[in-house]
Structure 1
Amino acid sequence: MGTCDASASWQEQVRAALADGVCLHLRGSGSKAHLGRAVQGRLLDTREHRGIVCYDPAELVISARAGTPLADVEAALAERGQMLAFEPPRLGPGATLGGTLACGLSGPRRPWAGALRDYVLGTRVLSGDGQWLRFGGEVMKNVAGYDLSRLMAGSQGCLGLIGEVSLKVLPRPRARHSLRLPMPLKEALARLAEWGQQPLPLSAASHDGQALFLRLEGGEGSVQAAAERLGGEPLHDEFWAEVNEQRLGFFQQPAPLWRLSLPPNSADLALPGPQWVDWAGAQRWLKTTAPASTVHALAAGAGGHASAWHAHPAGAQPLPAALLALHQRLKAALDPHGLFNPGRLYAEL
């Protein structure tokens, strides 16, 4: 696909939108367009701004423009035996790096390796005034503006137009083994809590209601020893890509899909519908026709929150007033005219 610097073009589009009094709908490939609330506005396609700007395998850092296909980034890393440790789902063949950051999604490895935001070193962002801003840097030592870069993770384009991202990368594990252990969810959660206190090389744990699925990663010796200890049925490693990309039968069921984020030690919840439990219990997918208020209340009662996975009038879990006010002040500072993706994350933004 090559490289292209569309910085000047983006500035022109932002200034034209301000002059015309219209909002901008920021979108890459549209692989995650189903997330959040519907957006009305003039389309700004981020895919024209693409290309890997810098990759230093020795320093474990890669920087690329927002429209760069995620597949290109991962391919470049794979050539040097490295990876994006947070295992971002693509959810479509054209997924871009900017869209990946904006949606803030992490894969099965998240409880053990960390979330996407933990790997963000710096960003270059176009503000709602049409000015380019740079936050953070390309090394962990440079902490100036670091947290503001992290705030772009999961912002869904509401805070600014992400132009460039610098990420920390990690070496790929030397050995991997996946397995299946038939057991009820209650027992699985108890075992996971126990194993979490032990030096097991776990890197993924899911439960489908009938069995616990595990992935072991690390040195050959530690993975082999853990596999022999746990036993179970061998599982093809492609299974985790099927989970991450939501290609399993569970995700194809017709009921609306909800994503619940809960404390990792949450008990088995009496949720109204079939569940897929991921992240060792911290992330739970729910297929249900129950009202949004019911789902939100159950998640809040367990100390977590829920959000509709497909565009839904209820959107994400309502924010407490103080937290909403903080979001609004941040939005006003970076996008004072309400130009970018208005209402996609919350109606009040």
Structure 2
Amino acid sequence: MSLRAELRAWLAANLTDDLRGLGGPGREHQGHDLRAAWERRLGAAGWTCLAWPAEYGGRAATLPDQVACHEEYAEADAPARVGLIGEGLIGPTILEHGTPGQRARFLPPIQRGEELWCQGYSEPDAGSDLAGVRTRARLADGEWVVTGQKVWTSLAHVADWCFALCRTEPGSRRHQGLSYLLIPMRQPGVEVRPIVQLTGTSEFNEVFFDDARTAAGNIVGSPGDGWRIAMATLGYERGASTLGQQLSFRRELAAVLEAARRSGAIDDPLLRDRLTRSWLELEIMRMNALRLLDSPGPELSIMKLYWSEWHRRLGELAMAVQGRNGLVTDGGLSDLQRLYLFSRADTIYAGSSEIQRNIIAERTLGLPR
């Protein structure tokens, strides 16, 4: 039996109606406890961390098998994963750059769905300009002592650990003197303040470190080598799971089309042209994603730029096909209204469109700064 067929059968036997469609961007507040329990069930059955070696609970799955499983998961309308930051970002980073002790300590709980992670990169004055981070850390009595502030930290309010870029060499500037630290979140000296979004939900947070501590060994790579490790982590952000993401986009587009039929907007030639263009662009997105899956370098910025701009336009289209009805609520946001509001952030988080264009220009096309 293929891995795709095996997962399909497992989902058919285990996925219940109360889990379907829960969570996702703009809806991370939905059923967190249910989804956390589901994450543990996935881990116990071996359906997390498919690409990882068997010794860490993975299946050493090939890239085509990973893509197939992400698509199957999305096709089943299974709940949004609560462990993706651990599985998709810090896990591969520790696998490639961590010590044997770090792999033994951190990878199994991620695979089992027992420990959740968040990413401590952006700061109030260092968002797109990540090299400007000012959160500092110093060694004292066998521990890193961390002081500073991070912002837009996804799911920090439910995370057990944070991987953070910190300045560990006093007086250093830009890419120099940065280190990549693993910091426990549930300790004195860590304060998480949720940020209320346009959607009324709070999946992003401010995180304040006030002499928070982590063991001296909880550094990935060498002191001062943090920039290289941080860039490696960003490279994992645009992997096989993006193919599953596009199935979610396909469902959203179908909902927009249905809304256009109900409102009669589909008879408007200009709106019909926009709907057709959106469908064509989604097909291009899939083909481009397949083309770039084996490219771990700056070319992946093409994928982020493309999907984020497309998704934001889809949100605008969702409002256009509803007409005036899209401007009112019955006390809560509809799925299409939430799509519009949350997708405004798509071209900012995970690397703004402006930064992605710079990366494509300078690192892929070789143009001058």
TM-score (norm 1): 0.25
Hey, which of these two has a bigger chunk of helix by percent?
A: 2
The structure, 1 or 2, with the larger RCO (C-alpha pairs under 8 Å, 6+ apart) is 1
